[in-house]
């Protein structure tokens, strides 16, 4: 009987920790949903080059120039499912999806490549964890693929 109470106490303790962590993520998600603009910085990641005959992968920095590592998301409209990506090379329209783990943005480039951005509903040091996944191929005629994934952080600017 004492064993049953001990197991029940451990289960309740574990459940309370899960709910407490969930509350933090739920609060972070609510903050993301209310936001209209984000400033994100990309840091390190991994890049692969596939040229049809070989695969070369390596860890890399997104950019040595902080301006090139900054990505801004603006005009977030979750009802329409749209936002605007504003970078150093101009702006692009995005599709936005809300999930219980955060916000996912999809960009379709002019040549049909897809770029995925994810702002997670996980905060550290008052910033949100951020991942950028690119899946480009330069063109149908040039069969070099350069997929990459970089991570960083975002903060709400409005």
High-pLDDT (> 70) share of the chain, %: 82
Domain residues for 94? 2-156
Give the Cα separation of 70 and 130 in Å (integer).
12
Handedness of CA 56, 41, 128, 135 (dihedral sign): negative
What stretch of H or E contains 91?
Answer: strand 90-99
Polymer length in residues for the chain: 158
pLDDT digits (tens, 9 = 90+) for 133-145: 988 776 666 778 8
Calculate the CA 59 to chain-centre distance. Answer: 18
**What is d(CA 134, CA 145) in angstroms, rounded to the nearest whole number?**
10
CA distance 99 to 103: 6
Which pTM was predicted? 0.79
Express each pLDDT in 94-153 by its tens digit. 999 999 999 999 999 888 889 999 999 998 888 999 999 988 776 666 778 888 999 999
Q: How many domains does the chain have?
A: 1
Q: Any long-range contacts for 112-118 (C-beta under 8 Å, 24+ apart)?
A: 113/137, 117/40, 117/71, 117/73, 117/85
User: Are 127 and 155 spatial neighbours (Cβ–Cβ below 8 Å)?
Assistant: yes
pLDDT tens for residues 76-91?
Answer: 999 999 999 998 778 9
Which range has the top average pLDDT, 3-7, 26-30, 54-58, 79-83?
79-83
CA gap 25, 99 in Å, rounded? 12
CATH number at residue 145: 2.40.128
Is 136 exposed, middle or buried (CB count within 10 Å of its CB: 0-12, 13-18, 19+)? middle
pLDDT number for residue 140: 64
Q: Measuring CA to CA, how many Å separate 54 from each of 19, 45, 50, 51, 144?
A: 47, 20, 6, 6, 10
């Amino acid at each position: 009987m004492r064993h049953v109470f001990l197991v029940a106490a451990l289960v309740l303790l574990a459940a309370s920790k899960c709910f407490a962590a969930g509350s933090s993520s739920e609060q972070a998600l609510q903050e993301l949903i209310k936001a209209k603009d984000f400033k994100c910085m990309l840091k390190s990641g991994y890049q692969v080059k596939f040229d049809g005959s070989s695969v070369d992968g390596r860890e890399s920095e997104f950019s040595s120039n902080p301006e090139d590592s900054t990505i801004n998301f603006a005009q977030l409209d979750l009802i329409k499912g749209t936002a605007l990506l504003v970078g150093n090379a101009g702006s692009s329209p995005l599709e936005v999806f809300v999930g219980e783990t955060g916000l996912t943005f999809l960009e379709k480039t002019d040549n049909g490549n897809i770029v995925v951005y994810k702002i997670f509903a996980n905060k550290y040091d008052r910033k949100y964890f951020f991942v950028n996944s690119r899946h480009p191929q330069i063109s149908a005629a040039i069969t070099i693929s350069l997929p990459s994934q970089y991570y960083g952080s975002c903060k709400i600017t409005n």
